[in-house]
Structures are given as structure tokens and as C-alpha cells.
Amino acid sequence: MPTELRSRMKVVEARSFSIEGLGIVERPVPQAGRGEILLKMKAATLNYRDLAVLTENYFPNLPLPYVPLSDGCGEVIQVGEGVERFRPGDRVLPLYTQGWHDGRPTPEQRAKRTLGAPLPGVLQEYMLVPAEDAVAAPAHLTDVEAATLPVAALTAWSVLLEGRVKPGDVIVVQGTGGVALFGVQFAKMMGATVIVLSSSDDKLQRVKALGADAGINYHSHPDWHRPVREMTQGRGADLIIETAGATLSESLSALAFGGFIGLVGFVAGYEATVPIRQLVGPLNRIQGMTTGSRTGFEAMNRAISSHRLHPVVDRIFDISDISEAFDFMKSGKHFGKIGIQF
């Protein structure tokens, strides 16, 4: 049953580049035009990028105010003319990179068509998207669980596929944030062995309960490439999901001959020093990556559904507590995703 449509809606806007700048305003509810669907948003989740956009000038020249957050889940309550892809009542997830349907995105899509900056984000009670720019949410997931998928899950999925992970491969996952934990879950699904890095022994315990084969505390082991080599009889890791960015050099030391670094984040800094010979000698590859295409999203969702995988959600905040949610992200204490409920 489609939810009834009101004429005014609440929207979260950032009026300055700071957590304090967040506030709730009222806007008119839009109408679905040709090819569009109107969503009643149910849930959202935070990514580290959201914090960087809000507080680190990550997206230069972004005009204020803007609507934050990339990841959301909504229910279709109105379909525009010509829409065959969805029906009212469907639960859908807008693509983070609007228009990226298969293969690679265009530079224009990558720069100008991402939700939560520069396009308005998902923290709107109602949200319009082209029907072609959303996918169906896996049925067995809660709204918040489904809202974890567009950025965090799809990024981990894409890295593992681009690196052609196969059973028996050894994967190193940095941290225990959203991308990292999906990395653990998907890599196990693919038959790989997974080593997780964290600064918290407690989190390492929890990630093992999730299926990780081993954990390394990178505070106790800043030279974590050594335990990685030990655990792999000297081979090193076949693939590393690099969320830290600045630790590329250590990652190269931990990498197997012909290994793959999927570079997705910059949590530890925007710059890395790279020893040339550690790339050339072992014929290693560093690949800049982001989420994935609609086709990739749909394939991932088939995997999630057939395995009845559940994303790891830490705390769930009410939309009115959005600032607390950002503070929690900033604290780095979370394990997995931070959810927002509308």
C-alpha cells in the first residue's frame, strides 16, 4: 500500500561545513515526472565520505546549504509516466553514482552525479530519482540494513571482483568500518581467507565472530606486513582493501607477488609514499576504485539474497539525532555501519 503523499516534507540541510551546521528545514514534496520515481525515505546510513564532505572540505566549492548522505532506502510511492522498472510499494535503493549503469562511470558522472554532494543527498523525507537510477532492495533486509548497500557494500564487492578474488586467496581488510566488514563478509562468501587490521583488540574479536580468519592490531604491529607474511608462509596477501590510503607503502610490503591493492579510502591521510621497486619488482597493481555500476549492484544483491547475508549495523539514530550520528562516526568507535531511521 503506497504511503499517502503530503505536500510538505522535512529535509536535513547543512548550512555550514560542520556538524553544528546541520539542521532540519521544510520543503515542498516534489512530483514524479516522466521516468522518475518518488520515494518515501525509510532509512539512511553514514559513510566516512559524508563526514569528510561535512567537515574536511572534501568536496571543494560545494554550495551551501546542501543535503547530506549518499546511502538510503526508500519506498516507491509514485511512479512517473513511462516507468516500468518499479511499482508503488517497491523498496528501492538509489544509485550513489546516478547514471552509472554498467562498465565504468563517465568522468562527468563521477564528478557531478553522486548523491550527498554535489547532488542532494538522501536525508529527505521524500526523494525523486530516475527509475533507471535505483535498484530493488533485497527482501530479507531491514530498511537500515538495505541502506548500507549503495556505497559501502558495493565498494567492497567491486574491489574483490576487480581483483578477481578466488577461493584460497588471502585478503587483508583495513579497519572495521562499513567497507571493511562487507569486505570480510564477501571475501568469505568467495572462499577467501581474510585478515583484518584494527587498532582495537575488541573489534578484532568481533570481526572474527563475523568470519574473519585472523586479526592484527596495527597499533601493536605498525609493521603489520610481518604478521601477514608469517600467516601466509611468506607469500603475502593477494589483495588488500586499502581504506587508509596513507599506508600504501606498508600495504605494498604485505602484498603477494602480482598482488592487487584496491584503493578506496583516505582515512589515514591524503598522501602516500610509494617505493617504486616494491611495485615494479613483484609486478603489483594499485587500482583506484569507487562503488560500482547498477549491473554490479544487482549482481551483488543476488549474492546477498541467495546467501541471506545481513550487513553489520552498529547504532541506529533517529533522523533528528543526525548530529550525534556524525559525532559517533567521528569518534571512530563504530563497528560496521551507522544507521539513520526516518
Number of residues lying near a copy of itself (CB under 8 A)? 66
Binding mask 83-112 for a copy of itself (x = CB under 8 A): ----------------xxxxxxxxx--xx-
CA–CA gap between residue 255 and residue 239 (Å, rounded): 7
- By CB under 8 A, residue 289 contacts a copy of itself: yes
Verify cis geometry, omega within 30 degrees of 0, for the bond prior to 118.
yes
**Residues 181-210 close enough to bind a copy of itself by CB under 8 A:** 186, 189-191, 193
- Bridge partner residues of 237 (DSSP): 255
Q: Is 285 in the site for a copy of itself (CB under 8 A)?
A: yes
**Residue whose CB is less far from a copy of itself, 266 or 317:** 266
Asked if 139 interacts with a copy of itself (CB under 8 A), we say: no
Q: Does 308 bind a copy of itself (CB under 8 A)?
A: no
Task: Decide if 185 contacts 309 (C-beta within 8 A).
Answer: yes
Query: Checking DSSP bridges between strand 91-94 and strand 134-136, what pairing results, if any?
Result: antiparallel
How far, CA to CA in Å, does 148 sit from each of 17, 253, 257?
24, 32, 33
Residues 96 and 100: their CA atoms lie apart, in Å, by 9
User: Does residue 60 belong to the site contacting a copy of itself (CB under 8 A)?
Assistant: no
Helix (H, G, I), strand (E, B) or coil at 215: strand
Q: Which of 161, 210, 214, 316 binds a copy of itself (CB under 8 A)?
A: 161
CA distance linking residue 171 with residue 294, whole number of Å: 25
* Nearest residue (CB) to a copy of itself, 275 versus 332: 275
Strand partners, 255: 237
Q: How far is the CB of 221 from a copy of itself (least distance, A)?
A: 22
Q: Which amino acid is at 329?
A: M
Q: Which of 43, 51, 52, 54 is nearest to 13 (CA)?
A: 54
CB of 22 to a copy of itself, least distance (A): 25
Nearer to a copy of itself, 124 or 193 (CB): 193
User: Of these, 136, 210, 303, 319, which contacts a copy of itself (CB under 8 A)?
Assistant: 303
Contact between 214 and a copy of itself per CB under 8 A: no
Of the candidate residues 87, 281, 327, 332, the single one contacting a copy of itself (CB under 8 A): 281
Work out the end-to-end distance of the chain between its first and last CA atoms, rounded to an integer number of angstroms: 18
Strand ranges inside 101-141, DSSP E: 126-130, 134-136
Give contact residues for a copy of itself (rule: CB under 8 A).
33-34, 99-107, 110-111, 132, 161, 164, 166-169, 186, 189-191, 193, 245-246, 248, 257-258, 263-266, 269-277, 279-290, 293, 295, 299-307
